[in-house]
Amino acid sequence: MPMRKATAPDPELRPDEVEQDHAEEPEVQAEPDDRDLAAVESIRELCEVSGLDMRPEVRGVEGSYLKIELIGEDAERIFGEHGRMLDALQFVANLIISRKLGPGVRVLLDAGGYRERRLKMLTDLAREYAAEVKARGEECEIDSLPPHERRIIHKLLSEDPDVMTYSEGEEPDRRIIIAPREIPSA
């Protein structure tokens, strides 16, 4: 585990830059609107041209994320087993969707239960690192993760009163730093 001397976030950065992954979106479940349906249509077209046994099913709306599960034998066998390919598909699909529909609609793709397995793995990792940070009083860095996965860790550890998180570096090498939370002096 890469432990580092505890340092404060770069003071040159404005708070919103330091905290940009935290940008909390309301976790309300909503019904997909017309723009969401247009986004699903883009994914459906993409599935069709790919010639793969794969089709999108909407699983709900979470904040500005439209959750879509890719159903089908190829979806599970290829994108469910190769998370980098799933993330690549999601990244390109979101670029295309934002060009077509403007900002504000983003899809979160899943296949073959990949995101759930990944969520468990990221949760375990975050808890293990947080425990280490508390034990040593030093900050540590997690290897680069895509934005939607950093968001999971920021959110999870925001509930821990003893640590704080922020991100450093540029995409695609942006990494989360877990640091001891400073005790405010009375």
Partner 1 sequence: MSQDSVARTLQYLAEGLVDDPAAVSVSCLDDRGTTVYDVHVADDDVGKVIGRQGRVAAAMRLVARAVAMKSHRKIQVEFGP
What is the smallest separation between the CB atom of 171 and partner 1, expressed in angstroms?
7
- Give the residue, chosen from 79, 114, 129, 166, that forms a contact with partner 1 under the rule CB under 8 A: 79
Residue 114 within binding range of partner 1, rule CB under 8 A? no
Closer residue to partner 1 (CB): 78 or 178: 78
Query: How far apart, in Å, do the first and last CA atoms of the chain sit?
Result: 33
- Give the residue, chosen from 2, 15, 113, 172, that forms a contact with partner 1 under the rule CB under 8 A: 172
Residue 46 within binding range of partner 1, rule CB under 8 A? yes
Residue 95 within binding range of partner 1, rule CB under 8 A? yes
Residue 99 within binding range of partner 1, rule CB under 8 A? yes
Residue 41 within binding range of partner 1, rule CB under 8 A? no
Which positions touch partner 1 (CB under 8 A)? 42, 45-46, 49-52, 74, 78-79, 82, 84-85, 88-89, 91-92, 95-96, 99-100, 171-172
